Amino acid sequence: MTLTTTPDGVRVEGREFPTNRGGLCRKGWTAAELLDRPDRLGTPLLRTEDGTFEPVGWDVALTRWVRELRAARATHGADAVGVFGGASLTNEKAYALGKFVRLGLGSSRVDYNGRFCMSSAAAAGNRSFGVDRGLPFPVTDLDDAHTVLLLGSNVADTMPPFVQHLAEARAAGGLLVVDPRRSATADLTADGQGTHLQPLPGTDLALLQGLAHVVLAEGLADHEYLAARTTGLAQLRPALNQWWPERVEAVTGVPAHRIREVARRLASDPRGTYVLTGRGVEQHADGTDTATAAINLALLLGLPGGERSGYGTLTGQGNGQGAREHGLKADQLPGYRSISDPADRAAVAAVWGVAPETIPGPGLPAVELLASLGRPGGVRCLWVNGSNIVVSAPDVAAVAAGLERLDFLVVSDFFFSETAAHADLVLPVRQWAEEEGTMTNLEGRVLRRRRAVAPPPGLVGELEIIAELARRLGVEGFTDDPREVFVELAAASAGGRADYSAITWDRLDAGEALHWPCRPSAPEGSPRLFLERFAHPDGRARLVPVGGPTRRPAPGPGPAGGLVLTTGRWLEHYQSGTQTRRVGSLAAARPEARLQVHPATAAARSIADGDVVEVTSAVGSALVRAELSTAVRPDTVFLPMHFGGEATANLLVEARTDPVSGMPDFKATAVTLRRPVAGGSA
């Protein structure tokens, strides 16, 4: 996008670009409204003894913060201080923040909200392909697709410009959408343009196993490809034998004949066939296995690395790809290096000018990090930067209690969020249009973010905050110049899986399309991975057997149990809603959370459209207005994740996580539903 200054203020305009071709969603078109809102944070706020906040200068704020950091480390050790980051941060800020935690604070306690987004897909990609990049091919390759299996992604609401890349597949009747709701994306399959499969939430793994079973059982697999480019077929076969379509129907509710039809469609012509996953199938306690099952299906069909075919996962957050590549994950160093690998540690340590043993080992993934807040041996002083965890984390009541146990909490944000309300110190930061830097999109393409408008006077960017904190702590090696940080980032990534070493600021400014890995031996970059080999040492992809009996959500407590809650996004809002709930047109269109309930389910509980209802899970309750809709299954309810207060969806979600990725189980929570005694109608 670009910004234009008019007599009425700043206006956003679409920019011709391969991924969006000038199109923006409603959130993009209205983003400029947030730049000059009167409630934007403009000065640091320090909590007083009576619990209120008072404005203070930057020197006072940072002096107090450094004092608290030193006290926490002296009393409880280096791991008593931690950082929770966000995938909206630029590559430079993510890199500097991860480096600061490990060198400036000497702590291992860093993770970020991408753990709630991409972690299962990343873990699956790493073990199957040897590397994790959202799309290992340009988005524009989809323009020629005749068949696209879209699993758990409502792109029509969350990424509207992406839908144009599905036009050919729709015209060919080949858009295959898997979603427990009849979402806006599922509606795109109407009138013969595709197929909508509507499984019970939490059973996507069984559905994928069933599709793969049909591919093998009916001789539809590409055995020449499998022999030349994969390993593990012999081990995969017995894992799939038990998932014949009729059994899958009993688990998922998807008719067996539909499973066979979709499998046959996928196998009909590999050229032009793609399998894409999204959060709907990944945000589960078995999300890594589910994403792996999708990869297995794609490999059986010979799609990854094929000509105009492939597998990929859709990245939703602004820098969901780049933030995890450069050090915000608890177990990773810049360049997508492993913090546990001696060679990776040595490579980064050489760039940082330190001994490898001074870099702390792996930290805690997000849910475990948040569970440790204020507890013995846990984090005592926390900096939350670019995330609103009191809305976005699972079991948010427990998270809020943890924030209150902390000795000191610092929150950096544009606005006073639900998380900021728990802070001891709130720091205002610059917005996207007011800073320089780089981002990495879902294709692994590195993009320049350019400053378009001047920030309000007195506002300080995160790189400046990090550099000043390091100076006050007596730690060298930090700069607030994003260009200098990028040069160091590129050097630290050299030889890593996400190698940026041949990417320069000047090349990006010149408009070159540079996809990582981009190294001196291949300075043109890598828009298409896997054409010749996968990233494992032997060059082969791994078929990984996954899944035993597929878990179904247990019935909720009480006599009216048996419903499954799934959460997700609306067209008008983004993430925790901290920004979009402040945009007038977006807030007017969707002013409050609504719980989608099937009319038959509502009738059985004497619930009318517009009634305030109580939703209860094993960990909490939420009060929200009901919206009757046949878009959800009778055994399922849907609640958007964008709202705080008593309608917060994650009051209901347990802190149950995937054992491999640490992903919370956002998409399948057992709940009960009733009208409160004092409830009423709108």
pLDDT digits (tens, 9 = 90+) for 321-340: 888 899 899 999 999 999 99
Tokens of 679: 């409830």
Distance from C-alpha of 308 to C-alpha of 303, rounded to nearest angstrom:
8
Reported pTM: 0.94
Tokens of 196: 């909508």
Same domain, 60 and 5: no
Closest to 108 measured CA to CA, from 130, 136, 78? 78
Whether the predicted pLDDT of 556 surpasses 50: no
Domain encompassing residue 629: 563-674
What pLDDT sits at residue 664?
Answer: 94
Same domain, 329 and 462: yes
Does residue 88 belong to any structural domain of this protein? Answer: yes
pLDDT tens digit sequence for 149-186: 999 999 988 888 889 999 999 999 999 999 999 999 99
What pLDDT sits at residue 301?
Answer: 98
502 by DSSP, 3-state: which? coil
Number of domains in the chain: 4
pLDDT tens digit sequence for 257-312: 999 999 999 999 989 999 999 988 998 999 999 999 999 999 999 999 988 899 99
What pLDDT sits at residue 677?
Answer: 60
Percent of the chain whose predicted confidence (pLDDT) is above 90: 79
Same domain, 396 and 459: yes
Does residue 473 belong to any structural domain of this protein? Answer: yes
Same domain, 95 and 124: no
Whether the predicted pLDDT of 7 surpasses 60: no
Whether the predicted pLDDT of 554 surpasses 70: no
Q: Which of 271, 293, 314 is the last residue of a domain?
A: 314
Same domain, 340 and 308: no
What pLDDT sits at residue 558?
Answer: 38
Instruction: Return the higher-pLDDT residue of 360 and 31.
Output: 360
Whether the predicted pLDDT of 586 surpasses 90: no
Any residues with CB less than 8 A from the CB of 616 and at least 6 apart, and which? 556, 557, 558, 652, 671, 672, 673, 674
Does residue 275 belong to any structural domain of this protein? Answer: yes
Same domain, 187 and 282: yes
What's the chain's average pLDDT?
Answer: 91
Same domain, 230 and 155: yes
Distance from C-alpha of 313 to C-alpha of 119, rounded to nearest angstrom:
11
The answer to whether residues 315 and 475 touch, using CB atoms and an 8 Å cutoff, is no
Same domain, 152 and 281: yes
- Rg of the Cα atoms in the chain: 24
What pLDDT sits at residue 573?
Answer: 60
pLDDT tens digit sequence for 459-510: 999 999 999 999 999 999 999 999 999 999 999 999 999 999 999 999 999 9
Does residue 387 belong to any structural domain of this protein? Answer: yes
Whether the predicted pLDDT of 37 surpasses 50: yes
Does residue 60 belong to any structural domain of this protein? Answer: yes
Q: Which of 286, 314, 342 is the last residue of a domain?
A: 314
Same domain, 301 and 339: no
Residue 2 confidence class, pLDDT cut points 50, 70, 90: low
What pLDDT sits at residue 23?
Answer: 63
Residue 551 confidence class, pLDDT cut points 50, 70, 90: low
The 3 state secondary structure assigned to 27-58 is HHHCHHHHCCCCCCCCCCEEECCCCCEEECCH
Whether the predicted pLDDT of 681 surpasses 50: no
Any residues with CB less than 8 A from the CB of 549 and at least 6 apart, and which? none
Instruction: Return the higher-pLDDT residue of 643 and 227.
Output: 227
Same domain, 306 and 338: no
Residues belonging to the chain? 682
Same domain, 302 and 325: no
Same domain, 333 and 275: no
Distance from C-alpha of 272 to C-alpha of 144, rounded to nearest angstrom:
6
Distances (CA, A) of 599 to 19, 239, 349, 448: 39, 39, 60, 48
- Give the residue-averaged pLDDT of 77-84: 97
Does residue 52 belong to any structural domain of this protein? Answer: yes
Percent of the chain whose predicted confidence (pLDDT) is above 70: 91
What pLDDT sits at residue 642?
Answer: 74
Distance from C-alpha of 356 to C-alpha of 341, rounded to nearest angstrom:
11
Does residue 525 belong to any structural domain of this protein? Answer: no
Does residue 338 belong to any structural domain of this protein? Answer: yes
